[in-house]
């Protein structure tokens, strides 16, 4: 379906009020193919917008937006121990988590309540509480935005990394994901290494947790720290957790002995950006109608009527200050779009 001069307020979880000239939503890959082929578009002339949970819009969009609106789920393969589930790109991610919980399929319970749609999940390899999408990912199907051809990407071809994939690099802007396939387990297998999960289960009085309990614990942790986009515009973590050299980290902890870190490789560690921003005193800071969330410094929020520019200016200030404070450069996790849907560097 083709629409013109669309308000994008409900298409981005930051709740930025802006518009798009053209929006094409589809419920079958064939409709998208037809749209692409009817108009022989350049890959740069259309942009894909799913649940809008990882973007910051700074200007009205001039390019045609493609919005997946296909929402089916089906089990396409089943053995006694595993299933492969196909989920369409327009399905809300958490609806897929609920489907898995209802059928006792293990693997994505720690990813409960992550905002956004299934099609966007592989783009940034969503992750939380000790689990990343790539661990259960089988393959995806996508439409080539230049030719309209239906293509398939294996897990290896997706080149997943921490909040990263080929779709944020060489394949950026070239495809629209239409379906994702996940391999889930029918055998109980819970991931509770993340300290807060165990702590929350203890508080819930659960000693031998099942699938639903872990999801409940994750939902509890998320709701206690992260603002609900329905009431407070935000896009989750605004920055990635920076990865730095272990030697550099050793020099930093001489001055900040409390600085947390997680090992990444032999000579690299990840440092929580939320901790750095918090330490530098930014929690609750307000810039116009944009602010740093007062419970989780990694999340920037729209206090109502904030422009995308205001949020971007706030992010820039924070980035500069963290560099001055710690010598660490933060990179945004959120995609900051200009009027053509191109990423703006901070
Ligand atoms: N911290 C602070 N102050 C803050 C925020 C965090 O001191 O304001 C400290 C915490 O005490 C903790 C550490 O920083 O020691 C890490 O915090 P937390 O466990 O909340 O996780 P995070 O590193 O801030 C990451 C993901 C989240 C994900 C959580 C849980 C990134 C960029 N963010 O946050 O993902 O939910 O871990 O796994 O990797 C998202 O991507 O949108 C997102 C919310």
- pLDDT, mean of residues 253-273: 96
Instruction: Judge contact between 242 and 272, C-beta under 8 A.
Output: no
Which residue has a Cα nearest atom 7 of ligand 1? Answer: 275
162 alpha carbon to ligand 1 midpoint, in Å? 14
Residues 44 and 92 in one domain: no
Residue 220 lies in a domain: no
- pLDDT, mean of residues 44-58: 93
**What does the buried/exposed string (b/e) look like for 196-230 if buried means 16 or more CB atoms within 10 Å of the residue's CB?**
bbeebbeeeeeeebebebbbbbbbbbbeeebbebe
- pLDDT, mean of residues 169-198: 96
215 alpha carbon to ligand 1 midpoint, in Å? 18
Find out whether the beta carbon of 88 lies less than 6 Å from any atom of ligand 1.
no
- pLDDT, mean of residues 328-344: 96
Residue 183 is encoded by which pair of tokens? 């391999």
Residue 331 lies in a domain: yes
62 alpha carbon to ligand 1 midpoint, in Å? 34
Euclidean distance between CA atoms 314 and 12, whole angstroms: 18
- pLDDT greater than 90 at residue 40: no
- pLDDT greater than 90 at residue 181: yes
In CATH, what number is assigned to the domain containing residue 311?
3.90.78.10
Average pLDDT value for the chain: 96
In CATH, what number is assigned to the domain containing residue 112?
3.30.465.10
Residue 333 appears among annotated catalytic residues: yes
128 alpha carbon to ligand 1 midpoint, in Å? 9
Out of 237, 261, 306, 307, the active site residue is: 237
In CATH, what number is assigned to the domain containing residue 10?
3.30.43.10
CB atoms within 10 A of CB 75: 13
Residue 162 lies in a domain: yes
Residue 19, domain extent: 2-68
Residues 318 and 258 in one domain: yes
Find out whether the beta carbon of 249 lies less than 6 Å from any atom of ligand 1.
no
The model carries a pTM of: 0.96
Which residue has a Cα nearest atom 3 of ligand 1? Answer: 275
> 279: buried, middle or exposed (CB in 10 Å: 19+, 13-18, 0-12)?
middle
Which residue has a Cα nearest atom 23 of ligand 1? Answer: 272
Strands 268-270, 286-287: pairing is: unpaired
Residues 91 and 45 in one domain: no
In the chain, the number of structural domains is 3
Residues 19 and 118 in one domain: no
Residues 6+ apart with CB under 8 A from 140: 122, 152, 153, 158, 177, 179, 180, 181
Residues 111 and 165 in one domain: yes
Which residue has a Cα nearest atom 16 of ligand 1? Answer: 272
User: What is the tens place of the pLDDT at every residue in 110-161?
Assistant: 999 999 999 999 999 999 999 999 999 999 999 999 999 999 999 999 999 9
Instruction: Judge contact between 238 and 333, C-beta under 8 A.
Output: yes
pLDDT at residue number 38 = 86
Residue 163 appears among annotated catalytic residues: yes
Residues 333 and 301 in one domain: yes
Residues 261 and 303 in one domain: yes
Find out whether the beta carbon of 129 lies less than 6 Å from any atom of ligand 1.
yes
């Amino acid at each position: 379906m083709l629409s013109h001069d669309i308000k994008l307020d409900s298409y981005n979880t930051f709740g930025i009020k802006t518009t798009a000239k053209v929006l094409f939503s589809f419920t079958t890959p064939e409709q998208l193919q037809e749209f692409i082929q009817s108009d022989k578009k350049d890959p740069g002339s259309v942009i894909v917008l799913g649940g809008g949970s990882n973007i910051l819009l700074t200007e009205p969009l001039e390019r045609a937006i493609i919005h997946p609106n296909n929402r089916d789920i089906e089990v396409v393969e089943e053995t006694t121990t595993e299933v492969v589930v196909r989920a369409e790109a327009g399905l809300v991610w958490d609806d897929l988590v609920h489907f898995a919980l209802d059928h006792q399929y293990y693997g994505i319970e720690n990813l409960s309540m992550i905002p956004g749609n299934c099609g966007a999940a592989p783009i940034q390899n969503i992750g939380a509480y000790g689990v990343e999408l790539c661990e259960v990912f089988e393959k995806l199907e996508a439409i080539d935005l230049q030719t309209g051809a239906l293509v398939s990407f294996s897990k290896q071809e997706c080149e997943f990394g921490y909040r990263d994939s080929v779709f944020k690099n060489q394949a950026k802007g070239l495809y629209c994901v239409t379906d994702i396939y996940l391999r889930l387990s029918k055998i109980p297998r819970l991931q509770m290494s993340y300290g807060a999960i165990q702590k929350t289960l203890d508080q819930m009085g659960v000693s031998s947790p099942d699938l639903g309990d872990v999801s409940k614990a994750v939902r509890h942790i998320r709701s206690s720290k992260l603002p609900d986009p329905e009431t407070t515009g935000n896009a989750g973590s605004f920055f990635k957790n920076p990865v730095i050299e272990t030697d550099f980290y050793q020099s930093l902890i001489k001055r900040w002995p409390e600085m947390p870190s997680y090992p990444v490789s032999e000579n690299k560690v990840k440092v929580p950006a939320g901790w750095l921003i918090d330490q530098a005193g930014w929690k609750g800071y307000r810039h116009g109608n944009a602010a740093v969330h007062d419970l989780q410094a990694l999340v920037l929020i729209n206090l109502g009527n904030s422009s995308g520019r205001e949020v971007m200016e706030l992010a820039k200030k924070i980035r500069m200050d963290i560099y001055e404070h710690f010598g660490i450069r933060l990179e945004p996790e959120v995609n900051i779009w200009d009027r053509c849907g191109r990423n703006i560097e901070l």
